[in-house]
Amino acid sequence: MEDRPLHGVRVLDLTNVLAGPYCSYQLMLLGAEVVKIEKPRHGDLARRLGPEPALNDAGIGASFLAQNAGKKSVELDLKEPADRAAFDRLLAGADVLLENFRAGVLERMGYGWEALHRTNPRLVYCAISGFGQAGPMSGAPAYDQIIQGLSGMMSITGTPETAPLRVGFPVCDSVGGLVAAMAICAALAGRARTGEGVFLDVSMLESSLSAMGWAASNYVVSDVRPEPMGDQNATAAPSGTFDAADGPLNIAANRQEQFETLCRLIDRPDLVTDERFADREARKANRSALNREINVALGSRPALEWERLLSTAGVPAARILTVPQAVELEQLRARGYFTDLPFPGHPDRTLRASGNGVHLNGAPLRPVSPPPLLGEHNAEFETAEVTTP
């Protein structure tokens, strides 16, 4: 990984489950050496999460395997003096310390920002938590679903009849991890200029509200309260999910020329001159009527045919796939999104590890080793000398 931007950066990763491990996975893909500091005999909780009980019992659950390839694992109990001494040695040579405990937990263990900064003035310390390190909710526990609810995200997911609904994957964990990774990279760039480390306080709640974009800004700027609209896009029409002959099809004809092209290709040019659909605001006001007309026309062909026809003509359109169908897309294969790695503890299996969608000088960022077994690298760090950055 010597050609990657974060080559030579060592990250001490105290995180569990998803937001923190997702952050450090991004840093690993960018070239950092990530050392997971795990509780002896237990490790990251995600080691025991996943659909295969045998893997969970072995401490290599699918949830762990998904975000921890390319990392190293060292067992340390920060309540034990000898392990604290080992951790202190690692801190002296680290570039980044990442944790996702509740606010104040690490400080109560003697590793608050001031103590860390004295130990290693160049250290970038990033704390990911549900609500941030200050404020009346800072000490409250939080998982992804809690943040989805408090952010307002669930209130606008689904239809008026089904909302509130949880987004189908832990989006707040992922967003919090991405924001933390971005902040760490920025802090490392700043340190190259100033020579000083910084303390990064990342709130999943605030990160998630930021990612909601127009749903939040339309209210705080224009006092427009977002409502659940199911598969429809509030900013444009026709934009949402429609019915082809054999199943659903997403179409986003958000611009006037795209709408006109769509009408021509579905053999309904009359819709362009219908005053109900003359411009964006008129189409939004008459969305239901417009959708009915388009659905009738789309019933003449299967979704894949429409996808190809409309996309070729510049109208964004695509089928709605299942997860198994999505991961087998030729587009992902062509860009090398997945990497086949040895499966920890199972020589008869292969692990498909995800990338992150970034190509560096034309090549995808890939993990170079499988997720570690618990404590796999204990000996390496017991004997290694610390090099102060």
Active-site amino acid positions: 173
Gap between the terminal Cα atoms of the chain = 19
Q: Are 206 and 212 in contact (CB under 8 A)?
A: no
Outline where DSSP puts E strands in the chain: 10-13, 33-38, 72-75, 96-99, 124-129, 199-203, 239-244, 247-252, 317-319, 338-342, 350-354, 359-360, 363-364
> Which residue type is seen at 382?
E
> Which residue type is seen at 129?
S
Strand partners, 240: 251
| Distance separating alpha carbons of residues 20 and 150, to the nearest angstrom | 20
Q: Residue 340 contacts by C-beta under 8 Å, 6 or more apart in sequence?
A: 350, 351, 352, 353
| Distance separating alpha carbons of residues 280 and 252, to the nearest angstrom | 12
| Distance separating alpha carbons of residues 34 and 176, to the nearest angstrom | 18
Beta-carbon count within 10 A of 168 CB: 8
| Distance separating alpha carbons of residues 348 and 63, to the nearest angstrom | 20
Buried b (16+ CB within 10 A) or exposed e, 111-134: bebeebbeebebbbbbbbbbbbbe
Which helix (H) or strand (E) segment holds residue 281: the answer is: helix 280-285
Beta-carbon count within 10 A of 255 CB: 14
33-38/72-75 β-pairing: parallel
Question: To which residue do tokens 């999505």 refer?
Answer: 326
Which helix (H) or strand (E) segment holds residue 209: the answer is: helix 204-211
